């Protein structure tokens, strides 16, 4: 197939793994399924473009990075996939530049605006804010625990041992995300006008007061919204890494709606 007609896909990772290891399995599954009918590009987050988060960092920084990447690739329209912090950035792109997107795939976005959440969701975010003064190891350990249902241990990162060099940037990057989430004005009315298909992958073992509520709220915002639940997965054992063939099939179906 002529690659000019291929599905052009930009994939944004979360705030922990870099783009390449985050999406390696999914990109392989997409290529196995679609061959040269897909052009997937995994893009690292702008918050990690330097040794520390950029001055004045916000989700607008990530939006500008997505627009710049698309221009450099020569893409005027594309499919956007975002996980966790990258999912929040993908929502901001959809609000600011809907004309660029053919579809939107949200893999447990870490945040979806400040729109009258439940008391349980607000209480959870108070716990996220309490992480701010912790040292890096305790910060990461508690951050991970907040993302899953109580009692879940399988599939969580194992503490200790040698860490990759990029891990040293993660606490500051996550803090930068938490800060912009507290102040960023995500335009809900713009998302409600978004008329492209939207897919949401939700782990059944993820914290329901966080990702479950986000899925429920977004289902009432987007016109063309489809939720898929992966019962055995959670935010740190996500379906795009553990069940990439199933996610690839779901994305291919999403893109066929375009």
Q: Is 86 helix (H, G, I), strand (E, B) or coil?
A: helix
Encoded tokens for 103: 């579809």
Q: What is the mean pLDDT of residues 39-62?
A: 97
Each residue's pLDDT tens digit, 57-86: 999 999 999 999 999 999 999 999 999 999
CA distances from 187 to 92, 190, 251 (A): 8, 5, 25
* Mean of per-residue pLDDT scores for the chain: 94
Position 4 confidence tier, pLDDT thresholds 50, 70, 90: low
Q: What is the mean pLDDT of residues 94-112?
A: 98
Q: By mean pLDDT, which of 5-9, 83-87, 180-184, 211-215 is the weakest?
A: 5-9
- pLDDT, residue 225, reads 98
Q: What is the mean pLDDT of residues 95-121?
A: 96
pLDDT score of 26 more than 70: yes
Separation CA 216–CA 227 (nearest Å): 9
Q: What is the mean pLDDT of residues 218-239?
A: 97
- pLDDT, residue 115, reads 84
pLDDT score of 2 more than 50: no
Q: What is the mean pLDDT of residues 221-231?
A: 97
Q: What is the mean pLDDT of residues 180-192?
A: 96
CATH of domain 3-256: 3.40.50.1820
Among 189, 11, 164, CA closest to 84? 11
- pLDDT, residue 258, reads 66
pTM score, whole prediction: 0.95
- CB atoms inside a 10 Å sphere around CB 180: 23
- For 35-98, where are the alpha helices, taking DSSP H only? 59-73, 85-96
- Break the chain into its structural domains and give their ranges: 3-256
pLDDT score of 156 more than 90: no
- pLDDT, residue 1, reads 38
What is Dmax (Cα atoms) for the chain? 53
């Amino acid at each position: 197939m002529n690659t000019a007609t291929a599905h052009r896909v930009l994939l944004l990772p979360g705030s922990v793994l870099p783009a390449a290891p985050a999406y390696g399995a999914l990109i392989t599954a997409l290529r196995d399924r679609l061959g040269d009918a897909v052009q997937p590009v995994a893009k690292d987050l702008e918050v990690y473009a330097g040794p520390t988060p950029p001055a004045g960092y916000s989700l607008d920084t990530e939006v500008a990075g997505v627009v710049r990447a698309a221009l450099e690739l020569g893409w005027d329209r594309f499919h956007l996939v975002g996980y966790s912090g990258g999912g929040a950035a993908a929502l901001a792109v959809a609000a600011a530049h809907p004309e660029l997107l053919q579809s939107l795939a949200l893999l447990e976005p870490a945040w979806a605006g400040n729109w009258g959440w439940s008391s349980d969701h607000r209480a959870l975010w108070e716990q996220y804010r309490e992480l701010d003064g912790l040292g890096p190891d305790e910060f990461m350990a508690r951050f991970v625990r907040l993302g899953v249902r109580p009692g879940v241990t399988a599939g969580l990162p194992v503490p200790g041992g040698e860490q990759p060099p990029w891990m040293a940037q993660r606490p500051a990057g996550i803090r930068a995300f938490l800060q912009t989430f507290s102040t960023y004005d995500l335009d809900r009315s713009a998302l409600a006008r978004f008329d492209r298909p939207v897919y949401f992958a939700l782990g059944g073992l993820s914290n329901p007061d966080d990702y479950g509520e986000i899925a429920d709220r977004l289902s009432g915002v987007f016109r063309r919204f489809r939720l898929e639940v992966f019962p055995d997965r959670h935010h740190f054992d996500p379906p795009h890494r553990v069940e990439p063939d199933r996610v690839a099939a779901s994305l291919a179906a999403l893109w066929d709606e375009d």
